[in-house]
């Protein structure tokens, strides 16, 4: 199938289920930025349960700002905070050390535009999964796109009702299985088995 998605920050498992089962992937880059969506956030499994990792962005003076024009607020070291949170959450997971050397450099770079950071996070996750990533980008925004599996709604976590098969999570004995977190949760817990898992899920 041909799939249309928003590029987001280390996207949810539902994004990667759709991507892993697609013949062609197109990323929407001509939309208006919306707050309170996963365009600049992701969720991980911390020792205290679900944890939000939010990328600060600079507020626009215009009413409608294109997502591709959104700049990151780098006045404080959010990257260091995010990586520390990942370490606290996944240091004891089976595959954290296996992927750490690939992911850590991402958190030492200063990205200026959110969309560039999001694309790099997707490329890193795809590399860790062993998943070939070929994609196109939109050149114009359309609210409806015929003959394409439109999964753009997945970027709004509140509207994403995807339910997936449980897998072992580090703190699962404390808080139970947490569904549809960042693909990083699946990677750190399942390693290279993660791609087979994604291909076998329904969305």
> CA-CA distance, 162 to 21, in Å (whole number)?
15
Please calculate the CA angle 42-48-52 and round it to the nearest 5 degrees. Answer: 15
On the question of pLDDT at 107 being above 90, the answer is yes
Please state the pTM of the whole predicted model: 0.96
Using pLDDT thresholds of 50, 70 and 90, give the confidence band for residue 9.
Answer: very high
Using pLDDT thresholds of 50, 70 and 90, give the confidence band for residue 157.
Answer: confident
> Mean pLDDT across the stretch 91-95?
97
> Mean pLDDT across the stretch 132-154?
93
Please calculate the CA angle 16-14-199 and round it to the nearest 5 degrees. Answer: 55
* Boundaries of domain holding 120: 2-199
Using pLDDT thresholds of 50, 70 and 90, give the confidence band for residue 76.
Answer: confident
pLDDT at residue 158 in the model: 81
Domain total for the chain?
Answer: 1
> CA-CA distance, 203 to 200, in Å (whole number)?
10
Per-residue DSSP letters for 21-77?
Answer: T-SEEEE--SSBP-SSSGGGEEEEEETTEEEEEE--BPPPSSSS-BGGGPBB--SS-
Using pLDDT thresholds of 50, 70 and 90, give the confidence band for residue 59.
Answer: confident
Using pLDDT thresholds of 50, 70 and 90, give the confidence band for residue 97.
Answer: very high
Q: Which positions ≥6 away from 46 have C-beta within 8 Å?
A: 85, 88, 89, 171
């Amino acid at each position: 199938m041909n799939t249309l998605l928003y590029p987001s920050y280390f996207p949810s498992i539902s994004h990667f289920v759709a991507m892993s089962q697609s013949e062609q992937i197109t990323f929407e880059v001509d939309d208006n930025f919306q707050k309170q969506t996963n365009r600049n956030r992701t969720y991980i499994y911390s020792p205290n349960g679900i944890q939000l990792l939010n990328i600060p962005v600079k507020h626009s003076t215009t009413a409608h700002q294109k997502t591709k024009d959104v700049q990151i607020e780098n006045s404080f070291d959010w990257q260091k905070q995010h990586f520390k949170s990942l370490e606290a959450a996944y240091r004891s997971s089976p595959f954290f050390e296996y992927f750490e050397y690939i992911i850590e450099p991402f958190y030492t770079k200063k990205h200026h535009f959110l969309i560039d950071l999001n694309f790099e996070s997707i490329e890193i996750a795809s590399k860790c999964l062993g998943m070939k990533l070929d994609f196109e980008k939109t050149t114009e925004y359309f609210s409806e796109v015929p003959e394409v599996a439109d999964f753009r709604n997945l970027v709004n976590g509140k509207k994403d009702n995807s339910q997936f098969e449980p897998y072992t999570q580090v703190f699962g004995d404390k808080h139970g299985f947490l569904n549809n977190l960042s693909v990083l949760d699946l990677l750190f817990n399942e390693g290279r088995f993660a791609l087979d898992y994604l291909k076998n899920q329904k969305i």
